Amino acid sequence: MKRSIVIYISALTLAACGGGSNAPAVSTTTSTGATSNEQPPSTQTEIAPSTQPQANNETEQPTAVASDQLQIDANFDFDHQQQLAVTIETPLISGSRYFATICAQQAVAEDDELSADYSQCLWQATLVDESTTAAIVLPAHIQQLVAELWQIHQGQYQVQRQTLQFYDGAATVMF
Amino acid sequence: MISEHSINLLFGIGLASAMSWQVQATPFTECPTPAFLVQKNTAEMFGVNLATGYYQTLASNMGTSGKVNAMGFNLHDNYMYGWSREFATLVRIGADFQIEPLMLTGDDPQLSFFVGDVSLVDNAQYMYQRGSGKGLYRLSLDASADDYLQWQKLVDGGSLNINIFDFAFHPDRHMLYSVDSNGRLWMIDPQSGDASQLGNVGQSGTFGAVYFDVEGTLYISRNQDGQIFRIDVDAEQPSAELFAQGPSSSNNDGARCAIAPIVEPGSADIDFGDAPASYGTLLSDNGARHQLAAGQLRLGQQVDGEADAKAYPQSDDAGFWFDDEDGVIFISPLQAGADFLMVVQSSGAGFASGWFDTNGNGQFDANEQLLADAPVISGDNVFLLSVPADAVEGETWARIRMSSVTGLAAIGGAPDGEVEDHAIYISDQHTKVSFYPGLQQKATLAFEDNWPMAGDYDLNDLVVRFQSRQISDAEDNMVRFELEGEVVAMGASFHNGLAFRLPGVDPASIDQSLIRFEVNGELQSQSLLESVAGDSVLVLSADLKAHFPNQGGCDFYRTEQGCQGNGSFSFSLRVPFKQGLTVNEFPAAPYDPFIFATTDSRAPVLDVSPGRALEIHLKNQPPTSMADVSLWNLLDDFSQPSSGLYYQNANGMPWAIVIPYPWQHPIERVDISAAYPLFAGFAQSSGTINRSWYLPANGKSELLY
């Protein structure tokens, strides 16, 4: 059952850097629903690129060098992930319950809706404070993250989504 | 992948071209597993998988314009026999499902029959009609017998007067069984005509198709709703247990080869759950199961077909290539007395139901169904559900089923869809959960174990897949650390132990009495915490090789082409913390996984094994205090502890890496740089380019295991 359509435009304008490299402009959506399966309506401002595992598209050509011939910086420790800090800011309304998730962004949403790849969620929480911090470890192959805020009120839910933009390994999301 | 083998056995026989009834049909080539069901006023033949209720049309034209009833499968000649209303005689039915009327002799009772079966013992058709002047009849099917196809009346229907619609011979005893319209189970002695009432099975209706399986279990199909029940006829108080949902019809008759199992061994066209057996998982327990067929409803992307369930801890879902429990995702923590969100990913329109063992008694009780026949559509379906306030805190199980049919219970068969069983945790407080590398993802830990000698860089001496979860409370205190994984390859001759160090986590902060550690599903009684000052070292195995003792004709475990490997080592670890350890004090994933030597030989690398003192960590991870520092700079090691540089050779190559993905490792003696051509650029650029070098699309599949 369609409840409402809310367009939520974030003023988030952090510069793209770090794990969110090649990030697009900030995208936000808000959807609502009930306890049923129905797909909540949503509107988005922009779609970000895929985060699905895919072939490398960088210009580096494969070398024929054997591993024992490689010259590797002694300080490079072969990390394939990056530690990031996310702060989620949201007003909490009495009588509502809030969940938040941080997941890889869905590669291609069927209806051009900003959506999360739930199989690649990195963090989830029940929110009890208006400001919550999350320490996440971002795998190298995930290009874009989306934060979701789920508000549960009297058996209904409303979800808002935003893409994450990182600066110096940190991002703040305001719902 | 769904095996087509069984489906072909079941239904391929129905593809034979129609033949006229005058032509002698060929018999079945074997004792078929499926049940045969003939329905409709113009007879049509269906094949039914009694385990799931799934059915397909075998023949829409059987060569008659009328009904066929009283069917039975004759083991002596591999034909079916039945009564044709159109031809008013017994007919033989071959593998093409065309009827062949037979000429009967003797005293024709001038009756039409809908109750019948073929005896397994004396090669004869038995048919019955109630009422005085009618009764139980026998027709020999033995062409060499003097009484071949000759009417023989065994008992009058005045004395054997029961309201049944089909009967079936028991596979082990020459007795007929049926359930009448009031639900009474009958056993009939065909010799004497004596009928014994064995009790009321609790279901009433018109049971027009009655079958046995090789175990002597009776199956009855109710015309009105197609429901299939199973009955243990030898039980003290036999009862009808709903077994599957089959086709309904006003006219129904069934036949089956009674010495066939209900599910063909080795078949792979049924999806089972994998919760512990106490939840009703195995076929023998009428476990939840769904027929698999191409193009039908699925939960998520993966599904695996089996002949029977592999219940936890023997579950195959922690397997190497995929976990088919991928269509149900809990996107919020489960907390007693609070709502939670669950996403059901469906391939199409259907109905979802879910049971949650919230009281932790090892069963899905009737009042634990939190989702009942909820419509789902293709894609993500979000459900807001509530955990009961009296839910017991701790680990438990949930079962989600999705099908085109409604009314499914936590157990029993379904003709399509899928079942997923999920281990869940019900908390008693608000929680935050961090996943590495993702909620339904696994990371890969890959070692070369020749340190301090350079290896061959196939990075498959030990390959482990794992996932970690850090659970904290609303105040950011660590509540629990969870680690799960399995060894997926071992291309090593050396014996190695496996451990994870949690740097900076004081063992005193761990509630050691509540650690739960399982190996291959078995709870381990010994402590896995090692006494190392300042850090918590969790030893998962002191010698992994012991779990892979015999690789047959292969040298290693799953590193050589054509070698599937024997043995397994899966682990599940729950480490609870006392109050006082904050999230900020807890190390970030992937922590510090390492292997260590045993006292077994390390020749030719070392003449004498240092045992536990030889550790191999990720590059630039310092060893534990138990490591032998005299090993630095031996052979190819180029560690500089004073500069914080460890476990690298002169060129900066490591002996171990962690990849946040279920990585496919190179086959034996294939250099990682050859198997993944982008690796060299990644390594030499210090990770500034080719950061996704490890994805399958960037590997040479012919060089990967």
Per-residue pLDDT of B162-186, as tens digits, reads 999 999 999 999 999 999 999 999 9
Note the pLDDT of residue B34: 85
Neighbours of B667 (CB within 10 A): 20
- Say which of B343, B432, B657 has its CB closest to residue A78: B657
Nearest to A164 by CA among A141, A138, A140: A138
**Is a pLDDT exceeding 90 seen at residue B157?**
yes
pLDDT tier, B315 (very low <50, low <70, confident <90, very high otherwise): low
Co-location of B392 and B449 in the same domain: no
Note the pLDDT of residue A31: 61
Q: How many CB pairs under 8 A join A and B?
A: 251
Residue B113, burial from CB neighbour count under 10 angstroms (0-12, 13-18, 19+): buried
Which region among B3-12, B227-236, B344-353 has the lowest average model confidence (pLDDT)? B3-12
Note the pLDDT of residue A62: 57
**Is a pLDDT exceeding 70 seen at residue B293?**
yes
Neighbours of A142 (CB within 10 A): 26
Nearest-by-CA chain A residue for B476: A133
Co-location of B420 and B274 in the same domain: yes
Co-location of B331 and B414 in the same domain: yes
Co-location of B226 and B339 in the same domain: no
Using an 8 Å CB-CB cutoff, list chain A residues near B657: 78, 80
Note the pLDDT of residue B249: 76
Residue A57 lies in a domain: no
Residue B500 lies in a domain: yes
Taking only residues 143 to 162 of chain A, the set having a beta carbon closer than 8 angstroms to any beta carbon of chain B reads 148, 150, 152, 155-157, 159
Note the pLDDT of residue B179: 98
Using an 8 Å CB-CB cutoff, list chain A residues near B344: 37
Neighbours of B4 (CB within 10 A): 13
Co-location of B237 and B278 in the same domain: no
Per-residue pLDDT of A4-20, as tens digits, reads 322 222 322 222 222 22
Co-location of B447 and B398 in the same domain: no
Between B447 and B317, the higher pLDDT residue? B447
Residue B261 lies in a domain: no
Residue B446 lies in a domain: yes
Nearest to B540 by CA among B511, B572, B565: B572
Per-residue pLDDT of B212-228, as tens digits, reads 999 999 999 999 998 99
Residue B364 lies in a domain: yes
Check B384 against A155: CB less than 8 A apart.
yes
Calculate the CA B582 to chain-centre distance.
39
Per-residue pLDDT of B430-455, as tens digits, reads 999 999 999 989 999 999 999 999 98
Residue A62 lies in a domain: no
Co-location of B237 and B367 in the same domain: no
Co-location of B482 and B408 in the same domain: no
Residue B505 lies in a domain: yes
Check A66 against B376: CB less than 8 A apart.
no
Q: What number is the average pLDDT over the span B519-537? A: 89
Note the pLDDT of residue B17: 30
Residue A123 lies in a domain: yes
Q: What number is the average pLDDT over the span B52-64? A: 93
Q: What is the 3-state secondary structure (H, E, C) of B524-549?
A: CCCCCEECCCCCEEEEEECCHHHHCC
Q: How many domains does chain A have?
A: 1
Q: How many domains does chain B have?
A: 3
**Is a pLDDT exceeding 80 seen at residue B372?**
yes
Note the pLDDT of residue B479: 94
Note the pLDDT of residue B251: 74
Per-residue pLDDT of B333-365, as tens digits, reads 999 999 999 999 999 999 999 999 999 999 999
Residue A70 lies in a domain: no
Co-location of B245 and B298 in the same domain: no
Is B191 within 8 Å of chain A by CB?
no
Nearest-by-CA chain A residue for B338: A97
Using an 8 Å CB-CB cutoff, list chain A residues near B649: 68
Check A75 against B375: CB less than 8 A apart.
no
Kindly report the CATH number assigned to the domain that includes residue B352.
2.60.40.2950
Nearest to B46 by CA among B73, B21, B17, B13: B13
Residue A32 lies in a domain: yes
Per-residue pLDDT of B257-291, as tens digits, reads 888 888 888 888 899 999 999 999 999 999 999 99
Note the pLDDT of residue B579: 86
Residue B679 lies in a domain: no
Contact between residue A86 and residue B665 where contact means Cβ atoms under 8 Å apart: no
Using an 8 Å CB-CB cutoff, list chain B residues near A128: 430, 474
**Residue in B330, B332, B678, B693 to test binding to A, most A beta-carbons within 10 Å:** B332
**Residue in A92, A96, A118, A129 to test binding to B, most B beta-carbons within 10 Å:** A118
Check A125 against B661: CB less than 8 A apart.
no
Residue A51 lies in a domain: no
Question: From CA A85, how far away is CA A102, in angstroms rounded?
Answer: 11
Q: Which of B428, B450, B483 is the last residue of a domain?
A: B428
**Is a pLDDT exceeding 80 seen at residue B320?**
no
pLDDT tier, B247 (very low <50, low <70, confident <90, very high otherwise): confident
Per-residue pLDDT of B382-418, as tens digits, reads 999 999 999 999 889 999 999 999 999 999 999 999 9
Amino acid identity for residue B655 in this structure: W
Co-location of B588 and B441 in the same domain: yes
Q: Which of B428, B463, B479 is the last residue of a domain?
A: B428
Q: What number is the average pLDDT over the span B554-564? A: 90
Q: What number is the average pLDDT over the span B612-628? A: 96
Residue A156 lies in a domain: yes
State how far residue A64 is from chain B, nearest Cα, in angstroms.
7
Co-location of B536 and B631 in the same domain: yes
Co-location of B306 and B391 in the same domain: yes
Taking only residues 124 to 143 of chain A, the set having a beta carbon closer than 8 angstroms to any beta carbon of chain B reads 124-126, 128-129, 132-137, 139-141
Cα angle value A165/A53/B433 (rounded, 5°): 60
Residue B204 lies in a domain: yes
Residue B536 lies in a domain: yes
State how far residue A11 is from chain B, nearest Cα, in angstroms.
26
Is B669 within 8 Å of chain A by CB?
no
State how far residue A86 is from chain B, nearest Cα, in angstroms.
12
Per-residue pLDDT of B74-121, as tens digits, reads 999 999 999 999 999 999 999 999 999 999 999 999 999 999 999 999
Note the pLDDT of residue A93: 93
Is B382 within 8 Å of chain A by CB?
yes
Structural domain for B367, as ranges = 270-428
**Is a pLDDT exceeding 50 seen at residue B11?**
no
pTM: 0.81
Using an 8 Å CB-CB cutoff, list chain A residues near B329: 118-119, 121
**Is a pLDDT exceeding 70 seen at residue B6?**
no
Structural domain for A129, as ranges = 1-36+81-175
Note the pLDDT of residue B325: 75
Residue A48 lies in a domain: no
- Say which of B443, B457, B690 has its CB closest to residue A67: B457
* Burial B680-705, CB ≥16 within 10 A → b, else e: bbbbbbebeebbbbbbeebbeeebeb
Residues of chain A with pLDDT under 50: 1-26, 34-53, 57-59
Between B308 and B391, the higher pLDDT residue? B391
- Say which of B332, B583, B690 has its CB closest to residue A126: B332
